[in-house]
Structure 1
Amino acid sequence: MVRLTIDLIAKSRNHFKKKRGLSFQDYLKTLTHLHFFSRSIEDIGDLSMCRNLTVLYLYDNQITHICNLGFASNLTHLYMQNNNITRIENLSNLQRLSKLYLGGNMIAVVEGLETLCELKELHLESQRLAPGEKLLLDPMTLLSLAKSLCVLNINNNNIDDIRDLTVLKELQRFSAADNRLHSMEELEDVFSHWPHLLEMDLGGNPVCKKPKYRDRLITVCKSLKVLNGREIKELNRQFLINWKASKEAKKKTNNKHLIGGPLSSYPSLTNDFNVGQGPHPGHVCSHANVQRWRPQQPLRAQK
């Protein structure tokens, strides 16, 4: 089993090069970037001497567990995509972490990120899930990321509902392509809570086949610049917003006419009650009589 340890770093040609007056221990203390991608690594050992580590590249390996990173309080970037990780864990001490790449693993539930208050980017695309399974995002984790997260990638994870993502009001880039999103109304509601959204990719979802799909999203997402890889022209957005406003105004006008219509369509009945002409002597005027009253139809001439 290949394990990432201090000894492995010492043997790496890409890292330690002995300099005059600099010991290996001193080198480890100054190390900020560690490149060990595509090395068939299965486990992370004790790296606590690398106390100033800020960027760690471990993608394209065979790692099954996130462990032994509690020392890396200065870590800002962690690249662990395309491994065999099944659970997000042991990251609570990485409170300066800004970018986390976990795409292409075997994660079923997104959790364990509650203490990462500075996390700006979270990449979770293409998890290798069991048939019929979908990626779930823990509501408490989402709430803890609400004030910091700007980029979220959840492409290709069988997701059919994103209502829990409503709390992520600082999102600027959102990718949820190749999922199973189908409700236009759900998307409109969620995106109306994201005032800073600039880029979005929803390609490959069933909802993309809905009538006026693109137009409706452009009117909801006021700051959106790119949708499914296509730039949004500001002139086109303004036209759609004006058209929607005109349509809603016309609908309100029609509703007002419907509310006041029935009574005004019978002028003779209106005059009887408004002008003050009394009913025929002996006739009992009641609400029921008014509802039953109908204009008399002209007699048809007999053939």
Structure 2
Amino acid sequence: MVHLTVDLIAKSRKHFKKKRGLSFPEYLKTLTHLHFSNKNIEHIGDLSMCTNLTVLYLYDNNITYIGNLSFASNLTHLYMQNNSITHVDNLHNLQNLSKLYLGGNRIAVVEGLEQLHQLKELHVENQRLTPGEKLLFDPRTLDSLAESLCVLNINNNNIDDIRDLAVLKELQHFSAADNKLCSIEELEDVFSHWPQLFLMDLSGNPVCKNPKYRDRLITVCTSLEALDGREINDLTREFLINWKASREAKKKKIISMMSGALIPYSLTNEFNMGQDLQPGHSHAIMQRWKPQQSLRTEKFQFL
């Protein structure tokens, strides 16, 4: 079992050359970046002497558990993608963490990030989940990230519902490709809460087959610059927004006309005159009303 420790750092040729002129403890205090990707590491040992560590590269290893990072209060970037991590633990002391990469692990629930108020980017794509399982988010974590998170990558995680993500109102870049999103109405509702969104990728979801998918999302996401890898020019956006406004205005006008014509004049006139309805009279009035009602319904359906 390979452990990441200060002894492993000492044995590293890359670091051995740098430490000349300094004692090893002094050198460890100067370290800001540690590169130990693809080293068959299974465990993070005691690195507490690396007090100024800001960037840690541990991707492509065999780590199953996040631990022994409580010392790293200066850490801003943590790369732990493509390991075998099952739970997001022990990150509460990393209060300066800005970018967290956890893609390609075995995480079923995104949680434990409540203290990371500086987190700008979260990458949890391609989790190796059991069949039928989908990636979930702890509401407490989402609430804590609502004011800070700008980039979220949840590609390929069997996700079919993103309504809980609506609280992430600072999002600018959202990737949810190759999931199971189906409802265009649900997406429109969520994206209406993200006024700063400018990059989005939903390719590979069933919703992309909706004939008006692209047009409808462009009109909701008014700051969007690219959707599914295709740029959106200002002329296209302006045309679609004007088209949507015109369509909604026309719809409101039709509804207004219909609501004012639900009771025909002849019927309201007889009621307003205070005439008593004789037996059979109401039936005759309703018979006169039915053709008008049918005609207006057909007209509405045609429009």
TM-score, with length taken from structure 2:
0.89
Counterpart of 2:124 in structure 1 is: 124
Q: Does 1:289 align with 2:290?
A: no
Cα 1:116/1:259, change in 2 over 3 Å? same
Q: Does 1:77 align with 2:69?
A: no
| 1:68-115 alpha-carbon deviations (Å, 9 max, x no partner) | 001000000000000011110010100000000000000011000000
Q: How does 1:36-185 map to 2 (within 5 A)?
A: 36-185=36-185
Cα 1:47/1:241, change in 2 over 3 Å? same
What is the CA–CA distance in structure 2 between the aligned matches of 1:287 and 1:246, rounded to whole Å? 48
What is the CA–CA distance in structure 2 between the aligned matches of 1:262 and 1:72, rounded to whole Å? 70
Whether the 8 Å CA contact 2:160–2:180 is kept in 1: the answer is yes
Q: Does 1:29 align with 2:33?
A: no
Per the alignment, in what secondary structure is the counterpart of residue 158 of structure 1?
coil
Query: Partner letter of residue 239 of structure 1?
Result: F
What is the CA–CA distance in structure 1 between the aligned matches of 2:221 and 2:74, rounded to whole Å? 36
Cα 1:19/1:107, change in 2 over 3 Å? closer
Per the alignment, in what secondary structure is the counterpart of residue 43 of structure 1?
strand
Query: Partner letter of residue 31 of structure 2?
Result: L
TM-score, with length taken from structure 1:
0.89
- 1:249 CA displacement: 1.2
Q: Does 1:3 align with 2:3?
A: yes
Whether the 8 Å CA contact 1:64–1:86 is kept in 2: the answer is yes
What is the CA–CA distance in structure 2 between the aligned matches of 1:99 and 1:262, rounded to whole Å? 59
| 1:53-76 alpha-carbon deviations (Å, 9 max, x no partner) | 000000000111101001000000
Cα 1:38/1:239, change in 2 over 3 Å? same
Identity level (%): 72
Cα 1:220/1:286, change in 2 over 3 Å? farther
Per the alignment, in what secondary structure is the counterpart of residue 16 of structure 1?
helix
Larger radius of gyration: 1
Q: How does 1:9-24 map to 2 (within 5 A)?
A: 9-17=9-17, 21-24=21-24
Counterpart of 2:292 in structure 1 is: none
Whether the 8 Å CA contact 1:4–1:41 is kept in 2: the answer is yes
Cα 1:272/1:36, change in 2 over 3 Å? closer
Whether the 8 Å CA contact 1:18–1:24 is kept in 2: the answer is no
| Larger displacement relative to structure 2 (285-294 or 241-250) | 285-294
User: Quick check: which one's helix share is greater?
Assistant: 2
- 1:22 CA displacement: 1.2
Whether the 8 Å CA contact 2:105–2:127 is kept in 1: the answer is yes
| Aligned residues: CA RMSD | 2.0
Cα 1:270/1:75, change in 2 over 3 Å? closer
Whether the 8 Å CA contact 1:16–1:27 is kept in 2: the answer is no
Whether the 8 Å CA contact 2:19–2:27 is kept in 1: the answer is no
Structure 2 spans left out of the alignment, 5+ residues = 289-303
Per the alignment, in what secondary structure is the counterpart of residue 204 of structure 1?
coil
Q: How does 1:235-274 map to 2 (within 5 A)?
A: 235-261=235-261, 263-264=263-264, 266=266
Query: Partner letter of residue 189 of structure 1?
Result: D
